[in-house]
């Protein structure tokens, strides 16, 4: 996996796992792969994975069961909050980018609506 070299990798892995949960690759209650396995799959240090998982456990996204491993929480409220935060982060980034182009909020809304309409109509060639 390719990483942004200016952001701590453990943070990027947290984001990666959050997204896996949001898109459904990891369902509530699913077991997360073992630390060493994740390290190999993502080609990062075991310590980095451990830190990412520790943060996710602290946030309540993951639950650690002694002797069994780490599992995605079944608490759907927590997961919904997490999804909300991720969406907000994306929106914030888009907002900042468009504002940087000099667009006012009303313009942004109009542009987005227009774009979505076009995508739907030209939808077949994706």
Q: Which residues bind other proteins (CB under 8 A)?
A: 3, 5-10, 36, 39-40, 43-48, 51
CB of 9 to other proteins, least distance (A): 6
CB 21 within 8 A of CB 82: yes
Show the tokens assigned to 115.
Answer: 């774009």
CB of 10 to other proteins, least distance (A): 7
Closer CB to other proteins, residue 43 or residue 124?
A: 43
Closer CB to other proteins, residue 4 or residue 65?
A: 4
Closer CB to other proteins, residue 31 or residue 41?
A: 41
CB 53 within 8 A of CB 84: no
Q: How far apart are CA 17 and CA 36, in angstroms?
A: 15
Closer CB to other proteins, residue 2 or residue 65?
A: 2
CB atoms within 10 A of CB 73: 19
CB of 104 to other proteins, least distance (A): 28
The residues near 18 (Cβ < 8 Å, ≥ 6 apart) are 56, 61, 82, 86
CB of 111 to other proteins, least distance (A): 29
Q: Which residue spans within 1-126 are E strands per DSSP?
A: 62-65, 69-72
């Amino acid at each position: 996996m390719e990483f942004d070299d200016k952001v701590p990798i453990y943070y990027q892995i947290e984001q990666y796992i959050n997204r896996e949960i949001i898109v459904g690759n990891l369902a509530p209650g699913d077991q997360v792969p073992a630390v060493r396995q994740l390290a190999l799959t993502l080609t990062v240090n075991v310590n980095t994975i451990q830190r990412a998982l520790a943060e996710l456990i602290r946030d309540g996204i993951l639950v650690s069961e002694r002797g069994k491993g780490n599992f995605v929480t079944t608490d759907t409220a927590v997961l919904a909050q997490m999804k909300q935060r991720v969406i907000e982060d994306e929106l914030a980034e888009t907002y900042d980018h468009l504002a940087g182009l000099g667009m006012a909020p009303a313009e942004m809304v109009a542009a987005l609506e227009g774009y979505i309409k076009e995508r739907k109509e030209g939808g077949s060639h994706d």
